[in-house]
Amino acid sequence: MKKSAWKLVDAFFDKYNLVDHHLESYNDFVNNRIQEIIDTSEPIEFEEGKYKVETGKLEIVKPFIKEADGSTTKIFPMEARLRNLTYPAHMSLEMRLLKEGAPEPDFEKVYIGELPVMLKSEICHLHGLKEKELIEKGEDPRDPGGYFIVNGSERSLVTTEEIAPNKIILERMGEIEENRARAIVTSIKSGFRARISVEYKKPRRKGVYLRISFPYLPGEIPLVILLRALGLATDEEIITSISDDLNYQMVATDDIEVSSEKLKIDYEKLEGLDKEERREYLILSAIKYIGNRVAKGMTEDYRIRRAEDVIDRYLLPHIGTEPEKRIDKAIYLAEMTEMLLQVIYGEREPHDKDHYTNKRLRVSGDLMEDLFRVAFTSLTRDMTYQLERSLARGKEPSVRQAVRSDVLTENIKHAIATGNWVGGRAGISQLLDRTSYMGTLSHLRRVVSPLSRSQPHFEARDLHPTQFGKICPNETPEGPNCGLVKNLALMVKISEGADPHEIKDVIKKMGIIN
């Protein structure tokens, strides 16, 4: 057994590297995700749509530096360390300025800034070099790579742990006698995170059992009002979409009664309307109720527009942000409600937050994606400002002059150099531990939990059975970080996320769903 176990370990490391999870995700970020961010970012328009900037393909050039005399030379990591420089790739983006009524010009390549390069990634000069060649370049052939060099210091990005996004997590609250529970889903779409929470609690006086909260909506509102606003207009539609179980339907019926009073529904007026008009009246009254929350004191038209905008953009954005997706969101929330009521009636166990199925790891590529998205948005805003300024001065706007490459460069460099990441997170990038070779490897395989260090969090610090084979059971610091700072087990391979459309296609081809 011992002999064959070590053979297995050797075979594994013949194929994989100890820091593969960083290298693979960074390569994916460079090859696919940067272009995706550029293609899906808000278009640059100004002068009320008369002018528009169109973007094309991105080109990334392997590291080189400009010397003081204007010459450019190829730079290797050792030189960057010794000269306190950043080891950067250079990015150029195809852009063109379209003017209303004018012929379309050709794309021109515009330099947009530098991107710190991860050592041994596909855009690094060390990628694919043999042992002898690495020694010639001043590198340790045993060095795994997987870190950056910014201003001469080696910085590694620490893998962070988070609750699985776009997945319903059910939890009990308070004591069992209180009979309170909630269903939470962290909905993520192109970097924007929205936390949606549906809560069940017994009302003290005449109130509702089910309440919902989501971003840009002050406080909580009754769930049935939101379901109405999303297109489940009639009482029957709301009740049947939540469940076929009579107990659950009774809870929904009680909530509908109380909510109808809040919406001030005029039932006499309803009698005189046909079916379609009745639906529209009920949906509009629910949207107005939400509008009074999100834009209090504004005109009625603005309140309705703002309520619809908040529902489309900030409620379950992963399902979609188009108005057509509202009914899908309503069905998703109804499913979520049934699951929550099953927990209340003891027919379903709440989720274990510490179970590794309910967690995801965010590796270098994911963290760089968040950072690049924010940095690129800053660049496009700055470009819009520069273009509008040159128009105001009576000059002909030019894309090449409008791009200040240091906007993107400094944003990215500053975050990696200080560790202060987007979303207010600190300590994401750290100075690479070079105390010993084992210390370096350990640092590159570290996993950090976002939970606060000052609170007990006993369950989160415990060794969970589902960590078997994924997380090392021994290596964790003593003191306040115990159990919150962990390390990957030796033979871990972190799987990349897959495209849901591909999976759907495969299932369809197998004939499982029509």
Digit-coded pLDDT (tens) for 484-494: 999 999 999 99
- Of residues 269 and 396, more confidence is placed in 396
Note the pLDDT tens digit of each residue in 383-431.
999 999 999 998 888 899 999 999 999 999 999 999 999 988 999 999 9
Q: Which domains does the chain have, with CATH numbers?
A: 3-157+363-439 (3.90.1100.10), 167-357 (3.90.1110.10)
Residues 6+ apart with CB under 8 A from 474: none
Average of per-residue pLDDT across 181-210: 89
Note the pLDDT tens digit of each residue in 105-134.
999 999 999 999 999 999 999 999 999 999
CA pair distance 80, 87, nearest whole angstrom: 6
pLDDT tier at 514, thresholds 50, 70, 90: low
87 strand-pairing partners: none
Position 370, amino acid: D
Residues 6+ apart with CB under 8 A from 141: 131, 134, 135
What local confidence, expressed as pLDDT, does residue 268 receive?
73
Which tokens belong to 500?
Answer: 């849901």
238 pLDDT exceeds 90?
yes
What local confidence, expressed as pLDDT, does residue 179 receive?
84
Note the pLDDT tens digit of each residue in 130-187.
999 999 999 999 999 999 999 999 999 999 999 999 999 999 987 766 789 999 999 9
* Nearest CA-CA partner of 249 in 349, 338, 180: 338
Q: In the chain, what percentage of residues exceed pLDDT 90?
A: 74
Average of per-residue pLDDT across 340-367: 94
The answer to whether residues 255 and 210 touch, using CB atoms and an 8 Å cutoff, is yes
* Nearest CA-CA partner of 141 in 151, 130, 149: 130
Which tokens belong to 207?
Answer: 């109130």
183 strand-pairing partners: 170, 198
What local confidence, expressed as pLDDT, does residue 366 receive?
93
202 pLDDT exceeds 80?
yes
What local confidence, expressed as pLDDT, does residue 340 receive?
95
Which of 181-185, 270-274, 280-284, 357-361 is least confident?
270-274
- CA distances to 46, 79, 190, 230, 495 from 505, rounded to whole Å, are 40, 49, 22, 28, 20
Q: Parallel, antiparallel, or unpaired for β 72-74 and 446-448?
A: unpaired
CA angle 356, 361, 365 (to 5 degrees): 165
378 pLDDT exceeds 80?
yes
81 pLDDT exceeds 70?
yes
CA pair distance 490, 395, nearest whole angstrom: 61
Q: Radius of gyration of the chain from Cα atoms?
A: 27
Residues 6+ apart with CB under 8 A from 229: 283, 286, 287, 289, 290, 307, 311
Phi/psi of residue 64, nearest 5 degrees? -150, 165
SS3 383: helix
Q: What is the DSSP string of 187-199?
A: EEETTEEEEEEEE
373 pLDDT exceeds 90?
yes
The predicted model scores a pTM of: 0.90
What local confidence, expressed as pLDDT, does residue 270 receive?
73
What local confidence, expressed as pLDDT, does residue 222 receive?
93
CA pair distance 313, 321, nearest whole angstrom: 5
The answer to whether residues 117 and 88 touch, using CB atoms and an 8 Å cutoff, is yes
What local confidence, expressed as pLDDT, does residue 447 receive?
97
Mean pLDDT over each residue of the chain, to the nearest integer: 92
